[in-house]
Amino acid sequence: MEVLQTSILTVSFLVFMNGVLSSPPDDPVQCTSGNRNCTIKNAYGVFPDRSTCRASQVLYPTTEQELVSMVASASKSNTKVKAATRYSHSIPKLACPGGQDGIIISTNKLNNVVNVDVDRRRMTVESGVLLRDLINEAAKNGLALPTTPSWWGITVGGLLATGAHGSSLWGKGSAVHEYVVSMRIVTPARAEEGYAKVRSLTELDEELDAAKVSVGVLGIVSQVTLQLEPLFKRRLTYLMKKDSDLGEELIRFGKAHEFGEVNWLPTQKKALYRVDDRVPMNHSGDGLYDSVAFRAYPSAQLASSRATEEHQEATRDANGICRSAQLATKTSETSAYGLTNNGTIFTGYPVIGQNNRMESSGSCLESKQDALLTICPWDSRLQVVFNYETAFSISLSKVPSFIKDVEKLVELEPQALCQLEINNGILIRYIKASSAYLGKTEDALDFDFIYYRSKDPLTPRLFEDILEEIEQIGLFKYGGLPHWGKNRNLAFKEVINKHPNANKFLSVKREYDPQGIFSNEWTDQILGLRKDVTTILKDGCALEGLCICSEDRHCAPAKKYYCRPGKVYKEARVCAFEG
Ligand SMILES: Cc1cc2nc3c(=O)[nH]c(=O)nc-3n(C[C@H](O)[C@H](O)[C@H](O)COP(=O)(O)OP(=O)(O)OC[C@H]3O[C@@H](n4cnc5c(N)ncnc54)[C@H](O)[C@@H]3O)c2cc1C
Ligand SMILES: *[C@@H]1O[C@H](CO)[C@@H](O)[C@H](O)[C@H]1NC(C)=O
Ligand SMILES: *[C@@H]1O[C@H](CO)[C@@H](O)[C@H](O)[C@H]1NC(C)=O
Ligand SMILES: *[C@@H]1O[C@H](CO)[C@@H](O)[C@H](O)[C@H]1NC(C)=O
């Protein structure tokens, strides 16, 4: 996610240059007495419905054998259980054990590289290994995972479960699960089998298509083997262009450049093209992409930036937000988006560097404790950067119409999307159709929107209605598939019906975990096992995306926000300001 704010940026460079330390994020699992009486949070510290998830205890297996005995004991006693990761970055309530007194099994200590087979270009890792360590260890062995998610503080187990991806329409595409050739998953089992067992799946097993993207409900993955490629370099140039004919242009661009990616700035009528191609290792260059979104920033600076945003919201200062957006765009351009040609300074495009240094980053993780003086911007302890992240993929054939609809909305409300442009605009990435049962059903473009979330759940946002309409256009008019690890509740409305292989997934689930100990209320909802309860109907629910409004009280009538049809997509129901 991109969280840069102009004022943050300037300061950050000073901080970065002076090597000031930061405080890496906290453990998302906190217990009051030893490993008992625990809560689990996501990285923001707040779930979409703002509830707290509880568990009776947390366990830290260090080997697969220990993991098996922990799952056996949960299975024997029919106790709810869930895997948790080092940084818990999924936004929806995927990481919570069902009920209030389930067990959390953390993969923090399952973080070893098991084997690197250089000849066959395969690497086997334990599921708690961070993306950062995976790609760097691969590179040390002359190997590469071609394209990866941009934030590297996520684990192999967690990123597979949610279908996380980078950007590419070439080869196997951008989802990491496309590179899985085998995995070992610990599931419940019959009493005769000792209540738990390891299932070893290879490409010959159809069940791998369930286990690769499992939203965590099949059991706990202990090891994963990935098919890698020989290490290569990338040659990268950022190019800002007019956004005319963007829909067609996007399709052409994805075919022309292996790792292309686009940030769309619809208000400024521009699009930033990341022209990113594979080049052989003998090209010279030691470039580095250290995304400005994932660096450590002084918390005081982040707080002042947030205060500005809150003030702009409170005073309905659309001009101010649009000025901030333009400044943010300029500042990112000046900072070359976090690129340097040799790890220290930026001297010009193209930037050429090793694959593992050019896409994923997260330097705010690699820092010592400094008592929260500097933090990852979204640190859950301070909650200064507090945003929604909506992300869905739309099949390529429908992209031009989706783009046109967004453009119509911008014509009607020219300042409505400035808020997105503060955060680098709409991030657009390529992803291919997958055989994974819960994967993408068609070649698609993933649209990622980061925008202001109020600290107060009952306070509406400026231009609330326009973003809500875009969300509903993408998800319902064009049948977009939500990212399992992001989004607000409404995005998952009837999501299971968009996956033609859902039944195959559910039959594997019934076989692996017949008691449903790995399921919670949220996963039952998204998998269609409970009726439409992703919707939480209450006053103000549409403001937080907990429902689509059907009555004014779902918005904020006292603040003059009423439930109205969309302006372009009449079937949409959005909270519109009528002041
Ligand atoms: C700041 C930020 C940046 C992000 N950047 C990206 C990005 O660049 N690309 C992207 O695609 N998404 C991104 N996301 C979304 C989110 O991080 C992803 O969904 C990510 O895949 C979560 O990985 P995690 O290791 O944190 O897993 P968690 O969120 O902790 O877990 C996700 C699910 O997987 C299950 N699980 C975890 N480990 C295992 C295991 N070993 N076996 C079985 N189940 C398991 C958990 O129980 C849970 O259900 C971002 C989110 C934030 C807040
Ligand atoms: C359990 O934790 C909660 C806070 O999360 C605390 O209020 C409560 O006192 C704790 N109970 C015990 C028995 O420690
Ligand atoms: C890299 O190696 C290839 C094949 O060995 C060669 O054809 C090419 O000219 C080399 N490129 C550079 C930039 O050295
Ligand atoms: C990068 O280049 C600059 C200028 O050429 C130089 O001062 C700096 O030391 C270089 N950094 C590295 C890591 O090589």
Ligand 2 pocket mutation, candidates 30, 36, 37, 101, criterion most atoms within 8 A of CB:
37
What's the angle, vertex CA 278, arms to CA 275 and CA 279, rounded to 5?
Answer: 115
3-state secondary structure of 82: strand
What's the rounded Cα separation, in Å, for the pair 296 and 367? Answer: 8
What's the rounded Cα separation, in Å, for the pair 9 and 161? Answer: 33
Give the closest ligand to the alpha carbon of residue 282.
Answer: 3
Please give the structure tokens belonging to residue 53: 């998830």
Tell me the CA distances in angstroms from 65 to 61, 68, 110, 189, one per residue in order.
Answer: 8, 5, 11, 15
> Rg of the chain over CA atoms, in angstroms?
23
Is 1 touching ligand 1 by the criterion CB < 6 Å?
A: yes
Which neighbouring-strand residues pair with 354? 233
In this prediction, residue 373 carries a pLDDT of: 87
Residue type, 34: G
What's this model's pTM, rounded to 2 decimal places?
A: 0.95
Q: What residues flank ligand 4, with Cβ below 6 Å?
A: 342-345
Give the DSSP letter string of 344-376: S----SPEEEEGGGTS-B-GGGS----TTSEE-
Is 283 touching ligand 3 by the criterion CB < 6 Å?
A: yes
pLDDT tens for the chain, residues 1 to 579: 334 443 344 334 334 433 444 588 889 999 998 999 999 999 999 999 999 999 999 999 999 999 999 999 999 999 999 999 999 999 999 999 999 999 999 999 999 999 999 999 999 999 999 999 999 999 999 999 999 999 999 999 999 999 999 999 999 999 999 999 999 999 999 999 999 999 999 999 999 999 999 999 999 999 999 999 999 999 999 999 999 999 999 999 999 999 999 999 999 999 999 999 999 999 999 999 999 999 999 999 999 999 999 999 999 999 999 999 999 999 999 999 999 999 999 999 999 999 999 999 999 998 667 788 889 999 999 989 999 999 999 999 999 999 999 999 999 999 999 999 999 999 999 999 999 999 999 999 999 999 999 999 999 999 999 999 999 999 999 999 999 999 999 999 999 999 999 999 999 999 999 999 999 999 999 999 987 666 788 999 999 999 999 999 999 999 999 999 999 999 999 999 998
**What is the whole-number distance in angstroms between the Cα of residue 83 and the centre of ligand 2?**
22
Please tell me the residue having the least CA distance from ligand 3 atom 14. Answer: 282
3-state secondary structure of 486: coil
Please give the structure tokens belonging to residue 326: 């333009």
Please tell me the residue having the least CA distance from ligand 2 atom 4. Answer: 32
Please tell me the residue having the least CA distance from ligand 2 atom 14. Answer: 32
Backbone φ and ψ for 8, nearest 5 degrees, come out as -65, -40
Give the closest ligand to the alpha carbon of residue 233.
Answer: 3
